[in-house]
Amino acid sequence: MTEPVLSLRGLTRDFGPFRAVDSVSLDIRRGSITGLIGPNGAGKTTLFNMVAGTLKPTSGSVSLNGQNITGLPSEALFSRGLARTFQIPRPFRRMSVLDNVLLAPPAQVGETVVGALFRRGRVAAEEARLRDKARAILDFMTLGKLADQPAGKISGGQMKLLELARALMGDPAVILLDEPAAGVNPSLTRTLIERIEELNRQGTTFVIIEHDMDFVMRHCDPVVALAEGRIVFQGTADEARVNPLLLDAYLGAPT
């Protein structure tokens, strides 16, 4: 078996006396679409935030491709191949959709003061290359026609597609998606799922928090369930479907 792309060891986070995530150890299989489920307050987003560097763990460690990334700030992770989207989309509203995407690639020549002022030739060449890539990605995400729109003017569902498009500009190995289907109309959800599965076929690993059980059972493997900050189940979707604990605690009555 290949080395896990993400490896969490004893990850714990306290908020004052409250332990939101309690010693979670988890290996994310390379090339998987891992679904993370659990009731509200189970610690899913806290766990995400610790992996994505927006929250420092109280204890425990995270490694990405075998490299220890525990406690690194979120801006250090994108270039290492870890990207994320947000539960409530965070587009750069007063920037065009294209600019939103062009922003993302790390270490651009024109991103420093000196580069922007004095290396115009190299910046222009780089921009041309990135623009082609950005256009292709926007087309792939069905946002091509919106490229010149302000990102604040597109629909909530399109914003979720845009966040994924931005992430793709960094050629990430792992993408963390926080409730990608929440509040998105069925047709855009279908687009989103198709794109996720296509990217997954090409080798991108996904970790997805999702409340839509139908989504998780159909598209995620394995499924990991959290409750009160601990992992209470880990297995395939089929196993999850018949697990009495999950049926009781989270899924409700069998359908």
Partner 1 sequence: MIGMISYLAFFATMAGILAIVVLGLNLQWGYTGLFNGGVVAFFGAGAYGTMLLGGRPELGQFGGYEWPFVFALAGGVVLAALIAWIVGMLTLRLRHDYLAIATFGVAVAFESVTRNAEWLTGGAKGLRGFPRPLEAAIGNNFAYGLFFLGMVLVVLGAVYWGLQRLVHSPYGRALRAIREDETAARSLGKNPARLRLQSFVIGSAIMGVAGGLYVAFYAFVSPQDLAPILTFQVWAMLIVGGAGNNRGAVLGAFLIWGAWTASGFALSKFAPQAMQLYTGSIQYILIGTVIVGMLLWRPQGLLPERIVTRFTKTAAKAGPTSKGAI
CA 143 from chain centre, in angstroms, equals 19
Q: Tell me the torsion sign for CA atoms 39, 70, 65, 103.
A: positive
Kindly indicate which of the ranges 14-22, 24-32, 135-143, 237-245 contains the residues binding partner 1, using the contact rule CB under 8 A: 135-143
Which strands form 18-28's sheet, in the order they lie side by side? 18-28, 6-15, 59-64, 67-68
Q: Which one of 41, 63, 87, 95 is in contact with partner 1 (CB under 8 A)?
A: 95
In the complex with partner 1, which residue's Cβ is closer, 111 or 248?
111
Instruction: Tell me: does residue 79 bind partner 1 (CB under 8 A).
Output: yes
Instruction: Tell me: does residue 203 bind partner 1 (CB under 8 A).
Output: no
Whether 5 and 80 have beta carbons less than 8 Å apart is answered as: no
- Residues 154-173: x where in contact with partner 1 by CB under 8 A, - otherwise, as a string: ------------xx--x---
Instruction: Tell me: does residue 193 bind partner 1 (CB under 8 A).
Output: no
Q: Following DSSP, what letter does each residue of 111-174 receive, concatenated?
A: GSHHHHHH-HHHHHHHHHHHHHHHHHHHHHTT-GGGTTSBGGGS-HHHHHHHHHHHHHTT--SE
Instruction: Tell me: does residue 217 bind partner 1 (CB under 8 A).
Output: no
Length of the chain: 255
Interacting residues with partner 1 between 32 and 51 (CB under 8 A):
none
Number of residues that bind partner 1 (CB under 8 A): 56
Instruction: Tell me: does residue 245 bind partner 1 (CB under 8 A).
Output: no
Q: How far is the CB of 135 from partner 1 (least distance, A)?
A: 5
Kindly indicate which of the ranges 113-121, 205-213, 214-222, 236-244 contains the residues binding partner 1, using the contact rule CB under 8 A: 113-121
- Residue 148, CA distances (Å) to 15, 97, 144, 164, 191 in order: 42, 6, 9, 18, 21
Whether 167 and 76 have beta carbons less than 8 Å apart is answered as: no
Instruction: Tell me: does residue 75 bind partner 1 (CB under 8 A).
Output: yes
Kindly indicate which of the ranges 27-35, 139-147, 231-239, 240-248 contains the residues binding partner 1, using the contact rule CB under 8 A: 139-147
Whether 20 and 14 have beta carbons less than 8 Å apart is answered as: yes
Kindly indicate which of the ranges 4-12, 36-44, 114-122, 182-190 contains the residues binding partner 1, using the contact rule CB under 8 A: 114-122
Instruction: Tell me: does residue 54 bind partner 1 (CB under 8 A).
Output: yes
Six-digit token pair at 139? 């087309």
Instruction: Tell me: does residue 242 bind partner 1 (CB under 8 A).
Output: no
In the complex with partner 1, which residue's Cβ is closer, 90 or 218?
90
- Please report which helix (H) or strand (E) contains residue 54, including its range: none
Instruction: Collapse the DSSP code of 240 into the 3-class scheme (helix H, G, I; strand E, B; otherwise coil) and give the result.
Output: helix
Distance, CA of 6 to CA of 167 (rounded, Å): 17
In the complex with partner 1, which residue's Cβ is closer, 52 or 251?
52
Residue (of 123, 113, 130, 191) closest to 157 by Cα position: 191
Query: Which residues contribute to the site for partner 1 (CB under 8 A)?
Result: 52, 54, 73-79, 83-84, 86, 90-96, 98-99, 102-104, 106, 108-113, 115-117, 120, 123, 126-128, 131-132, 135-136, 138-142, 144-145, 147-148, 150, 166-167, 170
